[in-house]
Structure 1
């Protein structure tokens, strides 16, 4: 079959050139090529803005999800504090940025040394301990006591004047950011104490001593060495004796540095 002229590849270009001389319509081959490009259908351009929009949406979605997770897992006891002037950092700047602190609890060790039952029990175990150390044989039912300077000092140390009542009030007034108060006792409870308070827990010695044969205990260092066994206690906590009183507003930064290290203050007159 004979091939019709002008119907093969390049027939469009031949048709353009057959219309008179090349210079009649196009000044150069470059102009011809541009005309061919114009006649061809335009190729689709990449939609870069759509890609940027998708990336931005994904970025925002990830950050929103992270914020939701952090808010869900955050402890409601977190406290945001600003550094205030005090005796420890009086020469430092006072407009430091806000710092986030984990929950902080307060632990008290308390005993009513005026309780006759507790005094009898303490004297009983003291005599037994003394007999084991010195090898003395004596009648443990003997109620006679030897009063000396040491015994008098012990009586003064354990006498209860309801200091705990006013120490708790000072925390409520000057440190409301404290999450919880744990009162470690030998089963004694002040008759004025509201044990139904959701921010207070009574902790008997038996719940923090793993070896029950060490009880009863009358040694403050032994009790203090087991305070970290209190169930539910915060990782950072303040340890108070019942005669510790706050006299002005305090913040977590007065006790703990922003890096989580205990503050140590120098004493001067």
Structure 2
């Protein structure tokens, strides 16, 4: 039984709401909760990796997940995941895949020769917000990966949020590049100012400012209604159960390493 399976019977307080939503939308109770959690995470999506700052920087976390080529090569954990699952599974079970990818990535760090990196992540695991920030970042990275491979994401809130952020950043970056090429200092100042303001705007309920095609408006409405009815606090609490399971798994997987490295 997985952490997500455990949620189904987690709380009598929200069980009625889950059953009502499940019946109304004709989807299973666990699937209803998964949609709620994934949509809740998406509603808080940040524009840049650096926004996912924790005990470990968001950029460092992203590098460990996506991999780095060159002299100091870091293996891509997404590539490892895809050896076991295809893009269809990555899309269909995105929340489960994100959970697995977080665990795989942190496990890979304990196999790394870099002791300071191990100590940084060991310390980070004691921060209650670290794994949640990491999970949110991995959801963003997986969504970007799927869209980069022209996969239509099942969760339409995640699909359109990912596309909207990418499109906006591309437009603003183009303005900055054009100003540099034209050697127009005034235009460059304005372009950088517009970029900064847009990044701030994306941190504040950006989904409400995104236009969704009519064909998917109903599904986005369903996803948002599930979040509304279950409530952000309840969804955050259910997510914390998943995070607890993740932490326990990471500690169990690397118990011997932790004893040897940090005694």
**In which range does the TM-score fall when normalised by the shorter chain?**
under 0.3
**TM-score with structure 1 setting the length:** 0.25
**TM-score with structure 2 setting the length:** 0.25
More strand by share: 1
Taking CA–CA contacts closer than 8 Å with sequence separation of 6 or more, which of the two structures ends up with the larger relative contact order?
A: 2
